[in-house]
Amino acid sequence: MTAFIPPFCPRPGCEHHREAPGFRYHAYKPWGAYATKAFGPVPRFRCTACGKTFSSQTFSVDYYAKRVVDYEDLAGRLSSCECLRAMGRSLGLSSDSVSNRIARAARQAFAVESRLSRTRVLAENLAADGFETFCVSQYHPNNIHLLVGSDSQFVYAANLATLRRKGRMTEGQKRKRWRLERLFRPPPRAVERAFGQIAAECLRVLADEPRASLTLWTDEKADYRRALAAEPCVAFLAKEGRLVHRTVSSRAARTRANPLFPVNYLDRELRKDLHEHVRETVCFGRNINRQMERLALYIFAHNYRKRYRIPNDRRSHAEVAGYDPRRIAVELKLVWKRRAFLSLTETTPSMRDSWLRLRETPLKKGKDYLPRYAAA
């Protein structure tokens, strides 16, 4: 048995539940061990301050899991258009277990992003737009808003708004929509509210910037303009000229010269890399929260693993955006080992909605199941 040293007490609320430079946790004593098939003997401990008992597995990404899965491989498969069932067949897991591992990996990705974003030094403008897809059925379309770096194509934020089905429909389809809307109707002004979170993320980026002002490019959708005006801090900075909102027609040619190229590029990548978003696919999302967990893991792989699109440039999108390569290397070494705690992670509202599975899936009764440890 290798000597495991608990980094802190895992009980939120305990005085020793913290991570800080120089902090060493000593207030625990050994509390036996138990044997497992997957992980061998697991040592247990007891916190002498709060009485909580825990094991080395409490700090592992595989807490409560019975099988060892290669998360790096999983992220690679997900980002290479492999569907859940195919992944399950290759890895010898049920599709539910694959989803469970993707959820764990997504939470790890959020924690890494949260820690790394505190030290980034950025110097680029941003572009934002909604990626149109659906969940459950085509009667429940949604917009995934992406905030992307103009030069780096790094994804700073993503959130989702479920919409009402619009566009041309047969009489039969209209009747079906009417029946379904008696069971579920998306919240009004969903795009505007979701885009408000994107606007708030711009403020975080602006706070990091060594420059005095930042330009946000979007298309001419009135919802975006309203969302920016509704956020008091954003409106204030816009008035001061520090946050400049510029628009371009969504009908403009989708070339590299288009200021919306970064989001158009991500649209293309998502359509070809994530199976559920491929056009005319038989594979589609059935649960909003799981759809966002897959997206989170995809964005993590895009930001930190995939190389920047310029040939011969070996940097990741994060490095191009101004993230420190040494810190990235340290985080990536531990990302699939050390379990992320929500209580020790600074989350954005959108991250928190994904982590706690708070989004509502159309037609689904009740809240999504979230293991108790995941909310700790």
Residues contributing to the site for Zn ion (CB under 5 A): 9, 11, 14, 16, 47, 49-50, 52
Q: Which is nearer to Zn ion, 13 or 40 (CB)?
A: 13
Q: Which is nearer to Zn ion, 49 or 356 (CB)?
A: 49
Strands 243-247 and 214-218: parallel
* Helices within 8-94 (DSSP H only): 71-78, 84-91
- In order, the DSSP letters of 88-116 are HHHHT--HHHHHHHHHHHHHHHHHHHHHH
* Helices within the chain (DSSP H only): 71-78, 84-91, 95-117, 171-181, 190-208, 222-230, 232-240, 261-273, 288-300, 317-321, 325-334, 349-355
Q: Which is nearer to Zn ion, 52 or 302 (CB)?
A: 52
CB of 49 to Zn ion, least distance (A): 5
CB of 44 to Zn ion, least distance (A): 14
Strands 40-47 and 137-149: unpaired
Tokens found for residue 114: 């949260």
CB of 7 to Zn ion, least distance (A): 12
129 in Cβ contact with 147 (< 8 Å): no
Q: Which is nearer to Zn ion, 40 or 51 (CB)?
A: 51
CB of 33 to Zn ion, least distance (A): 19
Q: Which is nearer to Zn ion, 15 or 346 (CB)?
A: 15
Q: Which of 39, 42, 18 is nearest to 30 (CA)?
A: 42
Q: Which is nearer to Zn ion, 49 or 283 (CB)?
A: 49
CB of 13 to Zn ion, least distance (A): 8
Q: Rg for the chain (alpha carbons), in Å?
A: 22
Q: What is the DSSP letter of 210?
A: S
55 in Cβ contact with 44 (< 8 Å): yes
Q: Which is nearer to Zn ion, 45 or 71 (CB)?
A: 45
Q: How far is CA 352 from CA 59, 232, 284, 322, 346, in A?
A: 20, 22, 24, 24, 9
CB of 47 to Zn ion, least distance (A): 3
CB of 376 to Zn ion, least distance (A): 12
Whole-number Å distance between alpha carbons of 307 and 288: 28
The values of phi and psi at residue 81, to 5°, are 65, 25
Whole-number Å distance between alpha carbons of 310 and 96: 37
CB of 50 to Zn ion, least distance (A): 3
Q: Which is nearer to Zn ion, 14 or 238 (CB)?
A: 14
Segment holding 131, helix H or strand E: strand 126-135
Q: Which is nearer to Zn ion, 118 or 372 (CB)?
A: 372
CB of 5 to Zn ion, least distance (A): 15
